[in-house]
Amino acid sequence: MVADLFGIGWYADVIVVRTLVLNASNEPLSVVAARRAIVLLCRERADLVARSNRVWHAESVSFAVPSVVRLRRYVPVPYRRSIPISRRAIFLRDDHRCQYCGRRAENIDHIIPKVQGGKHIWENVVASCQRCNSRKGGRTPSQAGLTLIRTPTRPGRFDWVYVAAGGYADGAWQPFIRSQLTVNS
């Protein structure tokens, strides 16, 4: 599938290559279209850290498409970034698999249904297939005779990078994401 390619998403039949932007402190700051990253490099606002194997050609110049860029000036981040709970993020967390039977998921399901006081939080929402979702209905998994394959959890501190990239974090991004996880854990 095309969306599984290296940091690439399809929007209106146009390929959007994604680039990880690091703060001057090497902390992941955002994920942007590679075109925006090239503009940052041309305006000397950022330095190239890692490049992809792609090249974009203009009339008189060619650009190595950046995979990771680092801003030259530090940008203060006043908040700790978190992933808002969404259908897309839940499917990515659960690998598009039903958390009751392991088949391809089509729906999201509240483990403790809202009608029984369940909340719409990470720890109470899982991906599920149509069959298991219908079988469970407005009951808890134990009431419906179902068991969870794994307990749902809140995403980690830098999992937003994965969600922002449309489900794929380029291999060149891993050292920067991992180093932040060990330093800031």
Average confidence (pLDDT) per 10 residues, the chain, 185 residues: 44 66 91 92 95 88 91 87 86 93 96 95 96 95 95 83 73 74 42
Q: State residue 150's pLDDT score.
A: 94
Q: State residue 63's pLDDT score.
A: 86
Sequence-separated contacts (24+) of 3-10 with Cβ below 8 Å: 3/166, 3/167, 3/168, 4/167, 4/168, 5/168, 6/52, 6/168, 6/170, 6/171, 7/52, 7/67, 7/165, 7/166, 7/168, 7/169, 7/170, 8/168, 9/166
Residues in Cβ contact with 4 at an 8 Å cutoff, skipping those fewer than 6 apart: 167, 168
Tokens of 97: 């698999």
Q: State residue 15's pLDDT score.
A: 59
- Residue 26 shares a structural domain with residue 56: yes
Q: Which domain holds residue 47?
A: 2-80+157-184
Domain total of the chain? 2
Q: State residue 70's pLDDT score.
A: 97
Kindly report the pTM of this predicted structure.
0.68
- Residue 76 shares a structural domain with residue 96: no
**Domain-located, residue 151:** no
Q: State residue 12's pLDDT score.
A: 42
Tokens of 34: 């590679």
